[in-house]
Amino acid sequence: MIRYRGVAYYPEFWPEDRWDEDIRLMREAHINLVRIGEFAWTPMEPAEGRFDLGWLHRIIEKMGAAGIEVMLCTPTATPPAWLTKACPDTLLVTREGKRAVHGGRRHYCPTSATYRRHVERITERLASEFSRYPNVTSWQIDNELGPESGECYCESCASGFRGWLERRYGNLERLNAAWQTRFWSVVYTDWAEIDIRHCEAGYPSIDLDVRRFHSDSWVDFAAHQAGILRRLHPGSTVTTNMMGPVFRWIDYHDLAKVVDVACDDLYFDMATMSGDALAADVFRCLKPGKRFWVTETGSASLVTGKPPHADQLRAWAFSSAARGSDAHVIFRWRTCLAGQEQDLQGIIETSGKPRRRYAAVKRLFEELEDLVPALGSLPLPKADVALVHTYDSHWAWQSTRIGGQVKELEHLYAVHELLFDRNVLVDPVPTDRDLSPYKLVVLPSVCIVRPETVAALQAFVRAGGVVLATPQLASRDVNNNYVPRCAPDGLTDLFGLRVEGKAFLDDASEPDRAIWFPKGNMVLETAHARFEDGTACEARAYVEDLELVGAKALARFTDNLYEGCPAATVNEAGKGAAFYAASYLDADGLGSLLDLALQRAGIAPGPRTPKWVEVVRRGDVTFAVNHSREPCTVEIPGREAVVGEWKKGKARLGAYGVCAVRG
Ligand SMILES: [Zn+2]
C-alpha cells in the first residue's frame, strides 16, 4: 500500500515567514514527502557561478525537523534568462530554423554540449551540497522530459543524428538499403547530405529513425544527470517524472532503465477510468517487480473546471494503489498567484487557507497512513494477460500516412478497456519481456516484430500459451518497410493464415481522396462482420484478405470488398492457440474474440461490475473501486473487510466508494 503521501511545494514562491505554517498544515495532512526545487534554477543561481542556496538549506532543514522527506528536483527544465542570453546555442531550434526564446519550459536542446555543461554544474552543486541531509532521499531529474516545446533541429542535433546513423549503419550502403532510398531518388552519397530537418518528410523508414534518435537524445540527457546524482549521492532514489498512459515521444522502456523507480504524472480523468488504469498498469510494468510512484496528480480537475467529488480523490488513490503504486503526490501545495499554471488548483487556496480540497486530501492521507500496517507489504498484483506495446511499432504507425487513420494507440486503449470492463488485469509489456508468466498475450497492431520475438511467441504458444493479434501483425521490417512476403512475417504457421491482400476503409471525407477512389469502387466506409454465434459487429478503418492455411474462421465479413472472407480466426498450435482479427472490430466484435481467447487460455474474468467499477486483486486482498456516482453491489469472496462495507461475500459501494477484502 502507498508509502509516500506527498505534495509538490514551491517555497521560493512564498514568503519565508509562511513556511512554518505550511509545514504545520502538511504535518496535519499526514504528508511525508515534498517535491522541491523543480523549475527553481534562477533562485538557486541568480547569475552564473553565484549560487544562492541558503533558502533551500533552510527549507530542507525545516522539513527534516518535521519528519518530512524531500524529493529534490534538478531545475533543468527551466534555464535562467542569463544562461540562454549568454549561450543561445542552448535553446532549441524548430524544423523551420526558428530558435526558441526565454520564458517557457523545456525549450532547451537536449544534445547541446553547452547546455550539458551548465546542467552538470548545477546538478553537481545540488548533489554535493544536499546529499548530506538524511531527509533528502530521492532526486527528480528535470520535469516531464520530452519535446513539450517541440523537438530540436539545431546544428548539434543535425550532426548528432548523422553520428547516430553512422554508429547504427556503419556505411551509406547499409543505410540506403535499410531505408530503401531508391524511391524518388532519395539515395544518399555523402553523410553531409542527410539533414534531420528535411530528410524524413513522408519517408516512413527515415521518419522512424528520426524518432528513435530524438528519443535516444532525451534518454541520454536523463542518463547524464542520473550518473552525476548516483556518483555524488549513492543510496538515494534517482528518478524522473514521466507521463502516461503511453508517452509518444520517448521510449519509456529505455528511460526506465536509467531510473530507480518509474514515476507517472497521472492526472486522473474525470470521465473515464480505463485510461488511468492503463497508465497504472504501464508504469507498474516499466520496472518489473517494482512498485511505481504517482509523482503528480490533481486535487481538482485540470480540464473541465469541475471540482471532483471529495471521495473521487480517494477512489483514484485506491485504484492506483491496487495496481501497484507506492507514492501519491498531489500537484501542488498552494494555488499560485501568477504564472502559466495560475489556474491549476493547489490543495490550499491562493489566500493560503486550507478549505475543502485540503480537508479531502487530509482525510485521504490519514486513511492511507492508517492502512500501511495492514496493507503496506502487499505484493504487486499478478496479471495473466500481457498486452504488447513497443515503440518500434508505435512510431512506425506514427510515421505512416495511414497511422492517423488506423489510430493504433486508440486501438491499444480499446483493447485495455475491454479487459478493464471484464476485470481482467493486464501487464503492458515490450516484446523482449519473458512471456512465460502469462496465459494470454495480446498483440494490438504490432506491425514490427523482431525475429527474437517471433521465436518467443512460437515457443510460448507451443508450450500452451494463447496469443491474440489484431491487424498488420508483423507486416513491416525493423526499418518500417513492408516485408516482401505475406504477413504475419515468420508467424504464418503459428496463426495458420496468410494475409494475401488489404484495403483501407476511407471515409471519403477529403474531396481529393473521393476523386482518386470514387465511392462505390474502392472506398468502403465501414465493413461488417458476423461471428458464428450471431454476434454482428463493425469492422473499421482497414480490412485484410486472409488465406487460411490451417486456421478456422470464427467470424466472416458480411459485406463490401471482402464479403464472405474470414474476419476473425483461431489456429490450434502445439498445446496453445493463436487468434487473429483481420480488421479493427468494434467493442462487440473484439470483445467476442477476446472472450474466446480468454476462455481458451483458461482465464476467468473477474466479477461482473457496472461500467467504471473495477475489481483488482493484489496479494490476498481484493480491491473494488467505484468510479461512478451510482451506488452498486459487487460480489467479492473473502474473509474480512479491511476497507469499506462488505458482508456475506457482497461489497456495497456508494458513489466513488472503495472496498478492500482480505482472503
Ligand atoms: Zn538541438
Q: CA-CA distance, 94 to 153, in Å (whole number)?
A: 6
Over its C-alpha atoms, the chain yields an Rg (Å, rounded) of 26
Residue 327, phi then psi, degrees to nearest 5: -150, 140
386-397 pLDDT, tens digit each = 999 999 999 999
Q: How do 640-643 and 658-662 pair as beta strands?
A: antiparallel
Give the confidence band of 244 by pLDDT, cuts at 50, 70, 90.
confident
Distance CA 130, CA 125 (A): 8
Q: Are 90 and 118 in contact (CB under 8 A)?
A: yes
Confidence at residue 519, expressed as pLDDT on a 0 to 100 scale: 45
Decide if pLDDT at 306 tops 70: no
Distance CA 164, CA 168 (A): 6
366 is catalytic: no
CA-CA distance, 530 to 327, in Å (whole number)?
Answer: 46
Residue type present at position 40:
A
pLDDT, residue 303, reads 54
Question: Mind listing the pLDDT tens digit for each residue in 554-569?
Answer: 999 998 888 999 999 9
pLDDT value, residue 304 = 53
Q: How confident is the model at residue 192 (pLDDT cuts 50, 70, 90)?
A: very high
What pLDDT, on the 0 to 100 scale, is given for residue 275?
A: 86
Q: 437 near 450, Cβ under 8 Å? A: no
Q: What pLDDT shows up at residue 542?
A: 87
Q: State in Å: Cα 93 to ligand 1 middle.
A: 6
Q: Tell me the CA–centroid distance for residue 152 and ligand 1, in Å.
A: 4
Q: CA separation (Å) from 437 to 450, 460, 465, 616?
A: 21, 10, 10, 18
Q: Please say if 645 is a catalytic residue.
A: no
Averaged confidence pLDDT in the chain = 93
- In the reported structure, the alpha carbon of residue 204 is separated from the centroid of ligand 1 by a whole-number distance in angstroms of 22
CA of 543 to the centre of ligand 1 (A): 41
pLDDT of residue 515 exceeding 70: no
Stretch 590-595: mean pLDDT: 98
Q: How far is the CA of 41 from the centre of ligand 1 (A)?
A: 21
Q: How far is the CA of 44 from the centre of ligand 1 (A)?
A: 25
Catalytic residue among 38, 45, 200, 296: 296
Helix axes 172-179, 204-232, angle to 10 degrees: 120
What pLDDT is stored for residue 525 in this prediction? 66
pLDDT, residue 541, reads 84
Q: Which residue has the higher pLDDT, 269 or 226?
A: 226
CA of residue 108 to ligand 1 center, whole Å: 8
Q: What is the pLDDT of residues 285-304, one digit of tens each?
A: 999 999 999 999 988 765 55
pLDDT higher for 519 or 25? 25
| Euclidean distance between CA atoms 535 and 528, whole angstroms | 11
Candidates 38, 387, 394; CA nearest to 249 is 394
Pairing of strands 440-443, 497-504: unpaired
Q: Residue 492 pLDDT > 50, yes or no?
A: yes
CA of 340 to the centre of ligand 1 (A): 25
pLDDT at 606 exceeding the cut of 80? yes
Cell of 492: 504464418
* pLDDT for the residue 512: 45
User: Is the distance from CB of 249 to CB of 215 less than 8 angstroms?
Assistant: yes
Share of the chain above pLDDT 90, in %: 86
Cα 433 to Cα 245, 387, 390, 453, 579: the distances in Å are 19, 11, 11, 9, 21
Distance 161 CA to ligand 1 centre (A): 10
Expressed in angstroms and rounded, the spacing between residue 87 Cα and the centre of ligand 1 is 13
Mean per-residue pLDDT for 493-511?
Answer: 79
- Asked whether the beta carbons of 641 and 660 are under 8 A apart, the reply is yes
**pLDDT band at residue 503 under the 50/70/90 scheme:** confident
Q: What is the mean pLDDT of residues 185-205?
A: 91
Q: What average pLDDT does the segment 599-624 reach?
A: 97
Confidence at 202, pLDDT banded by 50, 70, 90: confident
pTM above threshold 0.85: yes
Q: How far is the CA of 650 from the centre of ligand 1 (A)?
A: 58
Give yes or no for residue 509 having a pLDDT over 60. Answer: no
CB atoms within 10 A of CB 34: 27
401 three-state secondary structure:
coil
197 CA distance to ligand 1 middle (Å): 11
- Per-residue pLDDT at 546: 98
Return the beta strands (E) in 250-378 as ranges: 263-265, 292-297, 325-330
CA distance 394 to 447: 8
Confidence band, pLDDT 50/70/90 cuts, at residue 310: confident
pLDDT higher than 60, residue 270: no
Mean pLDDT across 417-427: 97
Q: Residue 598 burial by CB count (10 A; 0-12/13-18/19+): exposed, middle or buried?
A: buried
Residue 513 pLDDT more than 80?
no
User: What is the per-residue pLDDT for 271?
Assistant: 58
Answer with the residue of higher pLDDT: 602 or 341.
Answer: 602
Q: Which is the catalytic residue, given 12, 124, 144, 547?
A: 144
Nearest to 335 by CA among 4, 8, 5: 8
